[in-house]
Amino acid sequence: SPILSQMSKRKLSDYEGFRNVLNKSTNIVALTGAGISAESGIPTFRGAGGFWRTHRSADLATLHAFQVNPALVWEFYHYRRTVAFSAQPNDSHKALAAYEQICKEQGRKFSVITQNVDGLHRRAGSENVIELHGALHKVICTKCRTIDENFDNPICEALRDRGDPALQDINLPTIDKKDLPRCKKCKALVRPYIVWFGENLDPKVLEQSRELIETCDLCLVIGTSSVVYPAAMFAPLVADRGQPVAEFNLNSEPANDSFEFHFPGKCGSTLPKALG
């Protein structure tokens, strides 16, 4: 039946077949999502990370939420910063960083395009990293648009001990806007340098990603539910060009029938084995 023929086309846990393709590839792209940081203790969006206190994360990750209640959105991002800054890169981040070095020595290209904002790829040693949705350790001024790196935790005194997801908003005195993080240059309110739902991605970042997606000869798609656009289009676009795509996900079912390889399980185990 056509379904079975589809199934036979897709290779499940075919490490040998993948290695043959990997060794011949000269321009590799790894597209990562929250699942690659799960084993570092950072909750994914589809899992427990989908909620914080009584709020859905996706409802707080919007410009509207920030305009209506900047203090609450800053408490949410203070929590996310605290979790990310205390997390460590795991074996899958390290496997990507190590393989990038091997490619560098062999004159082959290896890039990471991540949806994650936790900064763990760079901390694992990856150099070619495109952060599609920004980063928790960056802020941008709502007035003069200055972008700053900021690893202070808490980022301001008013947010100290305010990120705890177990707390209930109602029991907490509202933080005054003037006590929220301010721009070093013009003293206006700063916001997390994060692409919120409904916001456009940085055109430069989109252009760089498109260039890689159109020229790579192998795409790894790791720990993503592939539901958020435009990132969700990238791996299918590679498959549509007839290039091999290898998915690493807990799910036994690939996100897309045209992905050639699928490695079900925790990427902390499957990815180091595949890139080994």
What gap in Å lies between CA 146 and CA 185, rounded to an integer? Answer: 8
Near Zn ion by CB under 5 A, which window of 104-112, 133-141, 152-160, 230-238?
Answer: 133-141
Q: Is residue 216 at the binding interface for ligand BV8, with CB under 6 A as the rule?
A: no
Q: Are 110 and 93 in contact (CB under 8 A)?
A: no
- Residue 151, classed as helix, strand or coil, is coil
Q: Are 40 and 13 in contact (CB under 8 A)?
A: no
* Residues in contact with ligand BV8, shown as a per-residue x/- string from 66 to 105 under the rule CB under 6 A: ----------------------------------------
| Closer CB to Zn ion, 7 or 144, in the complex | 144
Q: Is residue 111 at the binding interface for ligand BV8, with CB under 6 A as the rule?
A: no
Q: What is the DSSP letter of 86?
A: H
What gap in Å lies between CA 16 and CA 92, rounded to an integer? Answer: 19
Copy the structure tokens of residue 189.
């309110």
What gap in Å lies between CA 263 and CA 266, rounded to an integer? Answer: 9
Q: Is 115 annotated as a binding residue?
A: yes
Figure out which of the listed residues 185, 214, 240, 241 binds Zn ion, where binding follows CB under 5 A: 185
Figure out which of the listed residues 71, 129, 135, 267 binds ligand BV8, where binding follows CB under 6 A: 267
Q: Is 84 annotated as a binding residue?
A: no
Q: Is residue 266 at the binding interface for ligand BV8, with CB under 6 A as the rule?
A: yes
What gap in Å lies between CA 121 and CA 136, rounded to an integer? Answer: 13
Near ligand BV8 by CB under 6 A, which window of 3-11, 141-149, 173-181, 248-256?
Answer: 248-256
Q: Is 249 annotated as a binding residue?
A: yes
Binding-site residues for Zn(2+), in ranges, read: 141, 144, 183, 186
